[in-house]
A and B are shown apart, each in its own frame.
Chain A
Amino acid sequence: MNKAVNPKMNIQSSPAKRRKRVSLNQKKERIGWLFILPFVIGFIAIYVPVIFESIYYSFVKSQSVAGAGNIYIQVGFENYRYALFTDPDFFQLLLSNLSELALNVPAIVIFSLFLAILLNQKMIGRAAFRAIFFIPVITSTGIIETINIQASLVENMQNLQQLEGGTTGITQSATEQILQVADISRLFNNMFIGRELIEPVVGLVNQVYSLVDRTGVQMLIFLAGLQSISPSIYESCYMEGASEWETFWKITIPMISPMILVNLIYTIIDSFTRQSNSVMNFIADTISGKKGPDGYTHGTAMAWIYFLFIIIIVALIGAIFSTAYVFYQRREK
């Protein structure tokens, strides 16, 4: 009875054979590492050291010593204290930037969703509209942003006319000329709504160009999401007699809620870190030494404060939305 041992046990317990054999999972694991190797190397060899170095710079102060050039001395949280309490503009700018974005980010997301729904319907010239609406994605970065794409020409013509007419001093931007903001604010004023409500709306209308400019990627993400909803769901809805309005709130919104979250986070990060952002400009100016001698270390500290600020906001919004409002389709895989 004792001698009847399962022969398979012997093979498995022999150490020499087990070491050589690599299971399929282990093999796949190794190949996976090979695929992500470029990023792993870059992350460990370049990115992590750079981040640590940048954090180090935010805790030091440079001092020139005769004969030895610049040396760095540690000052603890001095730079952070300077950025938050001593610098007259930074904290104010941070707060005003936040309040501005609190309005702009929902506006961009809602507007891009609206456009995506419109462009998803069958209509004349759909391809042309899509092509046009995608242009800002390519043009609203880098150098084109710095050239100031606003229609300077129209601005100038306005100035010239005012010169002739004797009313100098007031210059209207091109977007104002397009929309005649004065009319909109007058309309609201006549409706007897509080000024606090009017101002943000007029502000939004004022910068409609920059808002439209920033909806490109979000719109495409929404389009992709809308097209992934199965048409049979809509069909069954119409069979049951649901109106378009009901279908929108009961089907479309829940089905694309993951995309709403993605877009929300993308928009926040994009708005905070784009080159035309006022805080980013301020930090860049400080780092390049335009605001004072200790610019570099101060600027780095500001940048880290700003970055923490972004992370906290993104994490908060992600946490709130993903638990409360996002509907995940259960998939069997």
Chain B
Amino acid sequence: MDVFTKPRYGSKVKFEGQLSFFQRLRYKYLTTYFLKSFILKIVRFVFLLGVAYIIIFPFISKIAGSFMGIEDFVDVQVKLIPKNFTLDTYKGIIIGNKYWELFWHSAVLSVGLGLIQTMVAALVGYGFAKFKFKGSSIFFLGVMLTMIIPHQTLQMALFMKFRNFDILGIVSLLSKIFGFAQPNLIGSPIPMILMSATGLYFKNGLFIFVMRQFFNGVPDELEEAAYVDGAGSFRTFFKIILPISIPMLVTIFMFAFSWQWTDTYYIGVFMPSRANFQVMADLVKVPKALQATGFAGESAYNKAILNTTGILILLPLVIIYLFAQKTLIQGIERTGVTG
């Protein structure tokens, strides 16, 4: 037979000095280097798993409690898995607390305000990042100031501002001339819209800051090319800059949306009695159908109901978050918040 014919496909041919399969295995996996990195990997994984557990555990226990029947709250054996599985808690809250109505109101408010805040943050951030002029640094200090002063400090003053709405004395002058009462904006969403449109709403200073950092990282050549082609500043902004900053805009919008969605402070100050326009903040109460008194697990039962309202509030956010997650993290990583 010819020794030099090619070996058939799949057959093993030994070369001089080649190691056997087990030897190769040994040299690859039985080394201190591999062992060290392997143990490190395991430790890292377990640690991250533990932290993830701490974050997720309250949600698990809340979800478990929301499916429990009323008997489970006095049963010692029941820990996390309900014995009497029931959907009554959800049913009671959705019907009794008018979940869908509140959902709709909150959605309109959050989407509207979120869009306004995102747009304003982008405009103002772009102005601060790309145009250097006298006074811009003073107003940027102003942005920082709105970030630092908590709005609780200004609560009463803000309330009074919109209770007798006035801008630098113009409105009061007009009202004296034309003889109408000073407008009272408390109880309408106008104060919130005004504050969003002027970048003074909850953490809008942070949004402006982040947008400015982001636009600082956008190369000037992009705009110069647009200017050479004859586009104006605003056209460049809307046609060139905004499309490339979509991940950032989505991030800002998500923040604005979810903070407005779970907000209790602003809605409490500006719309204290909202009989016709209830939002998610009004969901947190025990509905009439589920009220039960006089048994050992009462406080836990009520707490579980309130926690279920919490789940119902968070659920839309989590769903949106899961869909937007990739864009979100991409957007945050692109900020490049460097000094």
Binding site for B on A (CB under 8 A): 28-29, 31-36, 38-47, 49-51, 53-54, 57, 115, 118-119, 121, 123-124, 129-139, 141-144, 146-147, 149-154, 156-157, 159-161, 163-164, 174-175, 178, 208-209, 212-213, 220-221, 223-225, 227-228, 257-259, 261-262, 269, 272-273, 275, 280, 283-284, 287, 296, 300, 303-304, 306-307, 310-311, 314, 326, 328-329
Distance A220 CA – B313 CA, assembled complex (angstroms): 25
Q: Are A156 and B337 in contact (CB under 8 A)?
A: no
Give, as a whole number of angstroms, the nearest-CB distance from B280 to chain A: 7
With known contacts A38-B123, A141-B262, A151–B57 Cβ distance under 8 A = yes
In the assembled complex, the Cα of A266 lies from the Cα of B178 at a distance in Å of 48
Q: How far is the CA of A150 from the CA of B133 in the complex (A)?
A: 50
* Contacting residues, chain A, for B321 (C-beta < 8 A): 131, 134-135, 138
**B337 and A262 form a contact (CB under 8 A):** yes
1/0 per residue B130-154: CB within 8 Å of A?
1111101001001100111110111
Q: B residues within 8 A CB of A123? A: 41, 44-45
A28 to B139, CA, bound (A): 17
Interface check B120, CB cutoff 8 A: yes
Partner of B148, one of A49, A131, A314: A314
Kindly list the 5 A-B residue pairs having the minimum CB-CB distance in the complex, ordered from nearest.
A42-B198, A32-B131, A258-B339, A35-B127, A156-B300
Most buried by B among A123, A124, A224, A326: A224
The residues of B that contact A208 with a CB separation of less than 8 Å are 54
Is the beta-carbon distance between B338 and A225 smaller than 8 angstroms? yes
CB atoms of A35 and B126 under 8 A apart? yes
- B139 x A36 contact (CB < 8 A): yes
Q: Report Cα–Cα, A119/B44, bound state, in Å.
A: 10
Q: Which residues in B have their C-beta under 8 angstroms from that of A300?
A: 153, 156
Given A32-B127, A118-B48, A275-B265, 7 additional A-B pairs, CB 8 A: A47-B200, A144-B310, A153-B65, A153-B307, A224-B333, A269-B147, A300-B156
Q: A304-B153, A311-B148 known; A142 and B195 CB under 8 Å? A: no
B52 near A225: Cβ-Cβ < 8 Å: no
Whether B156 lies near A57 (C-beta < 8 A) is: yes
Docked Cα-Cα span, A159 to B300, in Å, equals: 10
A38 touches B124 (CB 8 A): yes
B154 and A50 contact, CB distance less than 8 A: yes
Known: A160-B296, A307-B150. A46 touches B195 (CB 8 A): yes
In the assembled complex, B244 has its CB within 8 A of some CB on chain A: no
In the complex, which of the residues A39, A45, A124, A306 contacts B199, with contact meaning CB atoms closer than 8 Å? Answer: A39
CA distance A144 to B281 in the complex (A): 9
Q: Is the interface of B mostly helix, strand, loop or mixed?
A: helix
Cβ–Cβ < 8 Å partners of A42 in chain B: 194-195, 197-200
Q: Which of A35, A51, A326 contacts B123 (CB 8 A)?
A: A35
16 A–B contacts from the bound complex (CB under 8 Å):
A34-B234, A36-B124, A38-B124, A54-B154, A115-B48, A141-B259, A143-B310, A147-B309, A153-B304, A153-B307, A224-B333, A269-B147, A287-B152, A287-B155, A304-B153, A314-B148
CB proximity of B28 to chain A, nearest CB, Å: 19
Task: Name B53-90 residues within 8 Å CB distance of A.
Answer: 54-58, 61-62, 64-65, 73-74, 76, 78-80
Contact assessment for B128 and A36 in the assembled complex, using a CB-CB cutoff below 8 Å: yes
Given A31-B233, A224-B335, A258-B338: A147 and B284 interface contact (C-beta under 8 Å): yes
State which of B76, B132, B158, B317 has its C-beta within 8 Å of the C-beta of A50: B158
The answer to whether B51 touches A133, judged by C-beta atoms less than 8 angstroms apart, is yes
Least CB distance from A295 to B in Å reads 10
Which residues from B are CB-within-8-Å of A51? 149, 154, 157
Residues of B within 8 A of A314 (CB): 148
B242 part of interface (Cβ distance < 8 Å): no
Interface residues in B292-308 (C-beta closer than 8 Å to A): 296-297, 299-300, 303-304, 306-307
A45-B167 in contact (CB<8A): yes
Interface string of B302-339 (1 = CB under 8 A from A): 01101101100110011001100100110011111111
- Say whether B332 contacts A43, CB under 8 Å: no
Interface contact B152-A284, CB-CB below 8 Å: yes
Q: Are B143 and A153 in contact (CB under 8 A)?
A: no
B208 interface hit (Cβ, 8 Å): yes
| CB <8 Å contact, A47 and B142 | yes
Interface centre among B73, B78, B300 (most CB of A within 10 A): B300
Say whether A46 contacts B156, CB under 8 Å. no
Minimal beta-carbon separation of A112 from chain B (angstroms)? 11
Query: Contacts A174-B57, A300-B156, A303-B152; is A29 near B131 (CB within 8 Å)?
Result: yes
Selected contact of A287 from candidates B156, B303, B309, CB within 8 Å: B156
Question: How far is B48's CA from A123's CA once the two chains are assembled, in angstroms?
Answer: 11
Asked if B332 and A223 sit within 8 Å, CB to CB, the answer is yes
Asked, given contacts A36-B128, A142-B263, whether A151 binds B55 with beta carbons under 8 Å apart, the answer is: no
B264 beta carbon closer than 8 Å to chain A: yes
Q: Whole-angstrom distance between the alpha carbons of A121 and B41 in the complex?
A: 10
Q: Are B131 and A280 in contact (CB under 8 A)?
A: no
Residue of B nearest to A146 (CB): B264
Q: Do A225 and B262 form a contact, CB below 8 Å, given A39-B199, A41-B198?
A: no
- Docked Cα-Cα span, A149 to B329, in Å, equals 25
Taking CB atoms, residues of chain B closer than 8 Å to A311 are 148
Q: How far is the CA of A137 from the CA of B256 in the complex (A)?
A: 12
Inter-chain contact B338/A32, CB cutoff 8 Å: no
Q: How far is the CA of A32 from the CA of B135 in the complex (A)?
A: 11
Q: Is the CB of A259 within 8 A of B200?
A: no
Chain A residue nearest to B302 in the complex (CB): A152
Taken together as a complex, chains A and B put the C-alpha atoms of A314 and B145 apart, in Å, by 12
The reply to whether A46 and B198 form a contact with Cβ atoms under 8 Å apart is yes
The interface residues of chain A lying within 8 Å CB-to-CB of B124 are 35-36, 38-39
**Closest residue on chain A to residue B333 by CB atoms:** A224
| Complex Cα spacing A307 to B208, Å | 22
Residue of B131, B284, B306, B328 most packed against chain A (CB within 10 A): B131
